[in-house]
Structure 1
Amino acid sequence: MALYSELPVYKAAYDLLLQVFGMVHNLSKEYKYSLGEKIKNEITELLSNIYRANRSPHKNQHLEKARENLELARLYIRILKDTQQIGINKYVSINQNMEGVSKQLAGWHKSIEKPSA
């Protein structure tokens, strides 16, 4: 079992969290303490689920939760874009990072679902 902090998906999710913290800092007060907090909580929970998946023999359930965390954060960020709280460049940048995390989670999930030969 690899150290969770050395996993590429963990590193990518952590970088995403740092990017989100910077983004939330610049939101208007109304959004900073509602959607901003929800996004930070979802990404933090995403990191927790990556840690749990790495440690658990039953990785599927934690990976499913991690993917759900990511999709909820993606929805909240889209709302921020649609309400003009973040610009299109910030939205695209964050979404590219989210897509990278999503692909890594999907690959990990797929690799553990393969039947043993």
Structure 2
Amino acid sequence: MALYTNLPVYKTGYDVLLDVHRYTNTFAREHKYTLGEKLKEESIQLLIAVFKANKTKQNNRLLHIETAREHLELLRLLSRIAKDLDILTARLYVALNLKLEEISKQLTAWQKYTVGAIT
């Protein structure tokens, strides 16, 4: 079992967490404590799910990977809302979504590997 901080999916997720915190700092008060807090919470929960997936045994790992994927999709949805409300610029939205896409690919590969290891 690799140290969770060395996992590429964790590193990219951590970058997303830092980006979200930087971006939400510039949100207007109206959005900072609603949409901004939700973005922060989902990015934290994504990292926690990756940590738990790495720590658990093969048969329970799928649950945590699926949870991470749910948090990832919520991050995509919330970032899209922020862009559509002109809270996030198109440039920041694209940069964030490229990282989210990378995480998605890594989680999918990890999920497929885990399913193969169980069967």
**TM bracket (short chain):** over 0.9
2:63 paired residue among 58, 61, 64: 61
Matched, 1:13 2:13: yes
Say whether 1:90 aligns with 2:92.
yes
> Secondary structure of 1:86's match?
coil
> Letter of the aligned partner of 2:7 in structure 1?
L
Structure 2 unmatched ranges of 5 or more:
none
Q: Which runs of 5+ in 1 are unaligned?
A: none
Q: CA deviation at 1:116?
A: 6.2
Task: Write the mapping of 1:41-52 to structure 2, written as runs, cut at 5 A.
Answer: 41-52=41-52
Give runs of ≥4 in structure 1 deviating > 3 Å. Answer: none
Q: Which amino acid aligns with 1:51?
A: F
Superposed CA RMSD in Å reads 1.2
In structure 1, C-alpha distance between the alignment counterparts of 2:118 and 2:35, rounded to whole Å:
43
1:25 aligns with 2:39: no
> Residue 6 of structure 1 aligns to which amino acid in structure 2?
N
**Alignment-derived partner of residue 34 in structure 2:** 34
Q: Which amino acid aligns with 2:3?
A: L
Change (3 A) 1:91 1:116: closer
Q: Secondary structure at the match of 1:114?
A: helix
- Partner residue of 1:76? 78
Q: Percent identity?
A: 44
Between the aligned partners of 1:116 and 1:25, the Cα distance in structure 2 is 43
Q: Which AA in structure 2 matches 1:45?
A: Q
The count of corresponding residues between Structure 1 and Structure 2 is 117
Q: Distance in 2 between matches of 1:113 and 1:50?
A: 16
Q: The residue matched to 2:37 in structure 1 has which SS?
A: helix
Task: Calculate the TM-score normalised by the size of structure 1.
Answer: 0.96
1:77–1:55 Cα change, 3 Å: same
**C-alpha deviation, 1:115, in angstroms:** 5.2
Deviations 1:53-74 (A, max 9, x none): 0011110000000000010011
Q: Report the AA paired with residue 27 of structure 1.
A: F
